[in-house]
Amino acid sequence: MLSKKIGIDLGTSTVLVYVKGEGIVVNEPALMATDERGVRVLAIGRAASELLGRGGKARAIRPVRDGDGVDYGAAGAMVQHLIGRIVGRQRIFRPDVMLSVPPMVTGVERRAVLEATMHAGAKSAYLIDKPMAAAIGARVPVATTDGILVVNLGAGSTDVVAIAQGEMLALESIRIGGESLDRAIEEAVAATHGVRLLPGEAERFKVATGSATEPAADAWLELAAADGEGQALRLRLSGKEVQRAIQEPLLAIVAGLQRVMAQVTEDRRLSLKRNGAILTGGGAQLPGIAEFLTAHAGVPTRVARDPQSCVAVGTGMALDNLQVIRRGQHYIT
Ligand SMILES: Nc1ncnc2c1ncn2[C@@H]1O[C@H](COP(=O)(O)OP(=O)(O)O)[C@@H](O)[C@H]1O
Ligand SMILES: [Mg+2]
């Protein structure tokens, strides 16, 4: 195989790169460090987060911001660095690159991303909608299914789609994601304990001890917080307390699922209820989330294998299956 086939999932919080025959080769913060003027790229991914953590004058840039906006210049620079890392200096065998994009991205913006990718050194560049890539990566037979729901839980947003016969029939993009759960935990702690959790602590609790459903036994974790005067203190937080705090954002995802169900025909709705929903994205790793959605949305729900990688894997897999994106999508060869 001379030209590599590369799938890139550039998310709000994470960038993943899948190379055909190699698997996931990059899983790092979707972050770039530039010089003060934002012109020269100093580092990307983990190296960028380390560089920025050391202080100094470097500027932090997130190419994909919460839910909607994409900074195309920054995204292009990031893709260029990623391609460089994978194919090295040799540019004789330029790679085929597929990028996943949020479904709300417009035609003009799609063209900008494609051009940036070509400019970054791709032989051919293609785009696929994130939820479709998530379904493919979750090994859903997208071309033949008579109706399945896919819920991709990212950091800044959640996409809920109904897919049948290779098409997205209905879509809801919700501005609720993993970060909304972190905010809900911070707000609950402020309201009940009168203290502020330090940055990253709510997420740390969520990942270590969080649960969407009532935990059988309660668990505690000690977190770093600050009081009203900014004085540092430690706070012991209960899993049950956190579970209550995240109910509201989780119910917003249920509402999104129900709106998608309401958009399709009665026949399709029956298929969706039979085949159920599959959860992808980092947020799908929250224990109990499948049970929560099954109970509240009334559709059998399961978590995909390795949910955080599904979009990247599906994006790469789609390069071998271009008919799934040729329909109604923009592409350049
Ligand atoms: N074990 C876990 N439990 C709950 N949430 C998690 C877990 N692991 C990661 N997350 C959350 O998943 C989100 C990141 O998911 P990801 O799909 O990588 O986002 P994006 O595609 O927007 O970059 C973050 O909000 C993170 O806190
Ligand atoms: Mg993601």
CATH number for 39: 3.30.420.40
Of 208, 228, 245, which residue constitutes the final position of a domain?
245
Same domain, 32 and 114: yes
CA dihedral (175, 67, 129, 278) in degrees, to 10, reads -40
Q: Residue 333: what pLDDT?
A: 43
pLDDT, residue 326, reads 54
Which of 308, 311, 313, 315 most suits a substitution to test ligand 1, by most atoms within 8 Å of the C-beta? 308
End-of-domain residue from the set 229, 245, 261: 245
Tell me if 178 CB under 6 Å of ligand 1. Answer: yes
Residues in CB range of 185: below 8 A, 6 or more apart = 197, 202, 205, 206, 242, 245, 246
Q: Tell me the ligand closest to 282's alpha carbon.
A: 1
Measured in Å, residue 91 CA sits from the centre of ligand 1 at: 34
282 within ligand 1 shell (Cβ under 6 A): yes
Quick check: 85 pLDDT over 60? yes
- Alpha carbon distance 277, 301 (integer Å): 5
pLDDT at 116: 86
Which residue do the tokens 């026949």 mark? 267
**Ligand 2 centroid from CA 310, angstroms:** 8
| % of the chain surpassing 70 pLDDT | 95
| Pair 302, 161 in one domain | yes
d(CA 285, CA 293): 13
pLDDT in tens, 128-167: 999 999 999 999 999 999 999 999 999 999 999 999 999 9
Indicate whether 168 pLDDT > 90. Answer: yes
Kindly compute the dihedral angle of the four CA atoms of residues 171, 176, 177, 179, in this order, to the nearest 10 degrees: 160
Confidence of residue 106 (pLDDT cuts 50, 70, 90): confident
- Using alpha carbons only, what angle is made at residue 37 by residues 32 and 42, rounded to the nearest 5 degrees? 35
> Each residue of 277-316: pLDDT tens digit?
999 999 999 999 999 999 999 999 999 999 999 999 999 9
Q: How far apart are CA 82 and CA 26, in angstroms?
A: 8
Mean pLDDT, all residues of the chain: 92
- 256 and 148 share one domain: yes
Instruction: At 93, give phi and psi (nearest 5°).
Output: -100, 85
Which atom of ligand 1 lies closest to the CA of 130?
21
**H/E segment holding residue 6:** strand 5-10
Ligand 1 pocket: which of 159, 206, 243 to mutate (most atoms within 8 A of CB): 206
Pairing of β 5-10 and β 158-164: unpaired
- Choosing from 193, 221, 245, the residue where a domain stops is 245
- Banded model confidence at residue 20, pLDDT cuts 50, 70, 90: very high
Q: Is the pLDDT of residue 47 over 60?
A: yes
As a whole-number percent, the residues of the chain with pLDDT over 90 amount to 78
Pair 160, 297 in one domain = yes
Pick the atom of ligand 1 nearest to 308's CA. 17
Are 125 and 268 found together in one domain? no
Question: What's the gap in Å between 16 CA and the centre of ligand 2?
Answer: 8
Ligand 1 pocket check for 11: Cβ under 6 Å? yes
Same domain, 91 and 212: no
Residue 123 three-state SS: coil
The more confident residue out of 103 and 237 is 237
Q: Are residues 213 and 158 in the same domain?
A: no
Nearest atom within ligand 1 for CA of residue 16: 18
Looking at residue 282, its pLDDT comes to 96
Residues in the chain: 333
Is the pLDDT assigned to residue 322 strictly greater than 90?
no
Residue 201 and residue 237 in one domain: yes
Contact 14, 155 (CB under 8 A): yes
Domain identity same for 38 and 70 = yes
- Least confident interval from 59-63, 192-196, 290-294, 310-314: 59-63
CA distance 107 to 109: 5
d(CA 13, CA 2): 32
- Looking at the 3D structure of the chain, how many domains does it have? 3
Centre of ligand 2 to C-alpha 186, Å, is 23
* Distance in Å, CA 98 to ligand 1 centroid: 22
Nearest ligand to the C-alpha atom of residue 210: 1
Contacts 24+ apart (CB under 8 A), 288-296: 288/211, 288/212, 288/213, 288/215, 289/153, 289/212, 289/250, 291/212, 291/213, 292/212, 292/213, 292/250, 292/254, 293/151, 293/253, 293/254, 293/257, 295/213, 296/250, 296/251, 296/254
pLDDT for the residue 61: 93
**Which is the closest atom of ligand 1 to the Cα of 307?**
17
- Residues 124 and 332: beta-carbon distance below 8 Å: yes
Q: Same domain for 36 and 125?
A: yes
Q: Residue 252 Cα, ligand 1 centroid: separation in angstroms?
A: 17
127 with 99: CB under 8 angstroms? yes
Ligand 1 geometric centre to CA of 279 (Å): 12
The band of 332, judged by pLDDT with boundaries at 50, 70 and 90, is very low
Residue 167 CB burial class (10 angstroms; 0-12, 13-18, ≥19): middle
Nearest CA residue ID for atom 4, ligand 1: 286
Beta strands (DSSP E) in 32-106 are 32-34, 41-44, 59-61, 96-101
Q: What is the pLDDT of residue 97?
A: 95
Instruction: Give the position of tokens 């592409």.
Output: 331
| Band (331; pLDDT cuts 50, 70, 90) | very low
Q: In whole angstroms, how far apart are CA 279 and each of 50, 143, 253, 307?
A: 31, 19, 11, 7
Q: For residue 8, what pLDDT band results from cuts at 50, 70 and 90?
A: very high
For residues 115 and 80, membership in a common domain is answered with yes
Range of the domain at 187: 178-245
Q: pTM for the complete prediction?
A: 0.93
- Over residues 267-271, the mean pLDDT reads 97
- What's the CATH number where 213 sits? 3.90.640.10
Same domain for 50 and 122? yes
**122: its two tokens:** 């791709």
